[in-house]
Amino acid sequence: MGGKNTILNKFALAETKKGIISVSHLEEPYGSGSFPVVSIGISIKGDETKPDWKAHIPYENLDQLIESLKIAKEKFNQEEN
């Protein structure tokens, strides 16, 4: 399963030596004709092409995900202060 994967961004995974978080556009993630998704991968070993964990987010849910991440960030910042 999974079609063409285009990495849009990648950055270091905090508190690891080689870990990477990658954000990709993934075509046909569930077979022919399935809608594209944003794929978020985490690779502890530093190979963004073979993530240890990944989540597929439909484009229609990106605004909700971004809002949820903002809420998580605000909560973390409040706990830190």
**Cα gap 81→66, rounded to integer Å:** 23
pTM: 0.86
How many structural domains comprise the chain? 1
| pLDDT > 90? residue 23 | yes
Question: Rounded mean pLDDT of 2-23?
Answer: 94
pLDDT (0 to 100) of residue 31: 92
pLDDT (0 to 100) of residue 79: 81
Range(s) of the domain holding residue 48: 5-80
| pLDDT > 80? residue 1 | no
Count of CA atoms in the C-beta half-sphere (13 A) of 74? 6
Average pLDDT score, the chain = 93
